[in-house]
Amino acid sequence: MSDDFPTSVPAPFALCIREEIPSTNDDARLLAERGAAGGTVVIAKKQTAGRGRRGADWFADPEGALAFSVVIRPGEPKALWPRLALAAGLAVAEAVETRVPLAGIKWPNDVWISGRKVAGILVEAGADFAVVGVGVNLNVGGFPGELAEIATSVGREAGAAVHRGEFLSELLRRFAFRSGQIGGGFGELLDAVRQRCVLTGRDVELTTYQGRTRGRAEGIGPGGELLLRTVAGIERIIQADEVRLSDVPPKVR
Percentage above 90 pLDDT, the chain? 77
Show me where the domains of the chain are located.
Answer: 2-196, 203-245
Please give the class, per CATH, of domain 2-196.
alpha beta
157, 113 contact by CB (below 8 A)? yes
- What integer pLDDT is reported at residue 148 of this predicted model? 81
- Residues contacting 11, CB < 8 A, separation 6+: none
In this predicted structure, the answer to whether residue 170 has a pLDDT above a threshold of 50 is yes
pLDDT (tens digit per residue) in 171-197: 999 999 999 999 999 999 999 999 999
Chain mean position to CA 7: 22
What is the average pLDDT across 11-19?
A: 95
pLDDT (tens digit per residue) in 24-45: 999 999 999 999 999 999 999 8
DSSP line for 162-213: --HHHHHHHHHHHHHHHHTTSBTBHHHHHHHHHHHBSSTTSEEEEEETTEEE
Chain mean position to CA 252: 22
What letter represents residue 188's amino acid? E
What is the spatial distance between Cα 89 and Cα 105, in angstroms, rounded to a whole number? 7
In order of 52, 122, 168, the CA distances from 189 in angstroms are 23, 18, 20
Q: Which of 107, 120, 118 is nearest to 150 (CA)?
A: 118
196 Rama sector, left if φ>0, alpha if ψ -120 to 50, beta otherwise: alpha
223, 86 contact by CB (below 8 A)? no
- Kindly indicate whether the domain formed by 203-245 is annotated with CATH number 2.30.30.100: yes
- What integer pLDDT is reported at residue 55 of this predicted model? 47
In this predicted structure, the answer to whether residue 251 has a pLDDT above a threshold of 50 is no
pLDDT (tens digit per residue) in 60-115: 566 788 999 999 999 999 999 999 999 999 999 999 999 999 999 999 889 999 99
pTM: 0.91
In order of 121, 232, 244, 248, the CA distances from 251 in angstroms are 26, 30, 17, 9
217, 204 contact by CB (below 8 A)? yes
In this predicted structure, the answer to whether residue 252 has a pLDDT above a threshold of 50 is no
What is the spatial distance between Cα 139 and Cα 214, in angstroms, rounded to a whole number? 35
Q: In what order do the strands lie in the sheet with 40-47?
A: 14-21, 40-47, 65-72, 130-137, 116-125, 110-113, 104-106
